[in-house]
Amino acid sequence: MIEMFDERIVATGRLPLFGFFVAFMVTFVLTRVNVRLIRANVRWWFRNVAVGDVHIHHVVFGVVLMLVGGVASLAVPDAYVGLDLAAAVVFGMGSALVLDEFALILHLSDVYWTEKGRASVDAVFVAMAVTGLLLLGIRPLGYEGIAPDPGTGLITRVYVASLAVNLVLAVITLLKGKIWTGLLGLFVPALLIFGAIRVARPGSPWSRWRYDPDSRRYQRAVRREKRLRRPLIQAKIWVQEFIAGRHDLIPPELLQRRADVAERARRRRMARAAARAERRAERRAERGRARRSERRSARRAAVRAEQEAAARAERGAVARARREAAARARRRALPRVRGRTGSRIRDRAASTRRARGRAREEEQPPRGTPFRGAPSRGAPSRGAAAGEAPPAETTELRP
């Protein structure tokens, strides 16, 4: 193992690159462990670095370390391999810290634990893959073992042609939405050919420019995305979350949007509640007005009934007083009326008796021969028996 390391790494001058690669991976893993423990709020672990109200992201320390390592690697002579290795290690540590917050630089927002924060992990994995391929001695944009010829021979023309073809294929592959295939294809040109020939991903620029939504190519791309791409994405997300943690935090803009939506919903609820309260108050006021109107009507009706009862009582009293007065007047006038009427009745009765006596005397036959049809003495005549009044005499009778 040591001999192979000396042969493949030290002898080929890749020791600083190896130091960069190891420092990059170790720093990234330790950084992720640190931030996950901080997020879990472990009591015995560190806290976020802050100056007052300003949170200092670790990308700041990464930029400083990259600056120190880069300047040191340029300032150290080639003969000092140890210093060059130390500078590469420092540069690798700073690069890990910077790429770990690549999403923050890309979006200019703290999206570290959101879905957009996966871009940082993707950038770190890409950097590891590219560094690993360089460490293995694989050359980008060319075939292994072929070096540019300073002359004008066939090798130079073949290298330039292969470089141009690889660049074109890499651009086409990246435009088709195959990021990993395009980056790894810079070291393995066969992957570029494979990625450029196959159909683009549904959401890629190539698909938007050249595929009609109803075309067979687009439908085939959608089927391949569901059948092949999504399982690979799920596996990649599982690995990322296993190493870097879950990116399940709500993005700030989405959180603000949700807050705005919640505020608008709260305002609508308050407006509806106020409208309902106003309607209830109006109904209560209307019912109160109706009850007050009913009470006023009842009071007015009671007053009218009392007034009518008082008027009826008054009229009854007046009528009773009149009747009593009339009765008293009749009682006072009755003796006089009775006296005059009695005298008239007695006068008529006396005149009637005298007239009947004279009539009987005239109708009586001579003595000894009574008239058969004449009434006996003391017996009333037929007219008297029938209730007829006797004929009035022509002469005035005096008492």
Domain for residue 241, yes or no? Answer: no
Give the single-character DSSP code of 226: I
pLDDT at residue number 27: 94
Residue (of 229, 263, 247) closest to 114 by Cα position? 247
pLDDT tens track of the chain, all 399 residues?
A: 677 777 777 778 888 889 999 999 999 999 998 888 888 888 888 888 888 788 888 899 999 999 999 999 888 887 788 888 899 999 999 999 999 999 888 888 888 888 888 888 888 988 888 888 888 877 766 554 455 555 556 666 777 777 788 888 888 888 888 887 887 787 777 888 888 888 888 888 888 888 888 888 888 888 888 887 788 878 878 887 787 777 766 666 677 787 888 889 999 999 999 999 999 999 999 998 899 999 999 999 999 899 988 988 888 888 888 888 888 887 776 565 555 666 677 677 778 878 877 887 777 665 555 544 444 444 444 444 444 444 444 344 443
| CB 64 within 8 Å of CB 95 | no
Domain for residue 34, yes or no? Answer: yes
Residue (of 30, 20, 158) closest to 90 by Cα position? 20
Residue 22 CB-density burial (10 A; 0-12 exposed, 13-18 middle, 19+ buried)? middle
Residue (of 164, 219, 222, 168) closest to 196 by Cα position? 168
Residues in Cβ contact with 130 at an 8 Å cutoff, skipping those fewer than 6 apart:
183, 187
Domain, as residue range, for 73: 1-137
- How many other CB atoms are found less than 10 A from the CB of residue 313? 10
- Residue 129 and residue 138: Cα distance in Å, rounded? 11
Q: Which of 326, 349, 373 is the last residue of a domain?
A: 326
Q: Which of 95, 114, 137 is the last residue of a domain?
A: 137
Domain for residue 150, yes or no? Answer: no
Residues in Cβ contact with 72 at an 8 Å cutoff, skipping those fewer than 6 apart:
83, 86, 87, 90
Length of the chain: 399
Which residue, chain included where needed, has tokens 């698909």? 207
- Residue 172 and residue 166: Cα distance in Å, rounded? 10
Task: Give residue 141's region: left, alpha or beta (phi > 0; psi -120 to 50).
Answer: left
For residues 1 and 129, state if they share a domain: yes
Task: Give residue 177's region: left, alpha or beta (phi > 0; psi -120 to 50).
Answer: left
Domain for residue 292, yes or no? Answer: yes
* Helix, strand, coil % over all residues of the chain, rounded to 5: 70, 0, 25
Which residue, chain included where needed, has tokens 């109706």? 290
pLDDT at residue number 385: 42
pLDDT at residue number 202: 84
Structurally, the chain folds into a number of domains equal to 2
pLDDT at residue number 12: 80
This prediction has a pTM of 0.57
pLDDT at residue number 272: 92
Q: Which of 85, 115, 137 is the last residue of a domain?
A: 137
Domain for residue 60, yes or no? Answer: yes
Residue 233, both tokens? 């994405």
pLDDT at residue number 261: 87
pLDDT at residue number 395: 40
Residue 319 one-letter amino acid: A
- Residue 36 and residue 21: Cα distance in Å, rounded? 23
User: Coil, strand, or helix at residue 54?
Assistant: strand
- Residue 110 and residue 253: Cα distance in Å, rounded? 10
| CB 187 within 8 Å of CB 140 | yes
Domain for residue 316, yes or no? Answer: yes
Which residue, chain included where needed, has tokens 């690798």? 92
Give the single-character DSSP code of 42: -
Residue 211, both tokens? 């595929």
User: Coil, strand, or helix at residue 215?
Assistant: coil
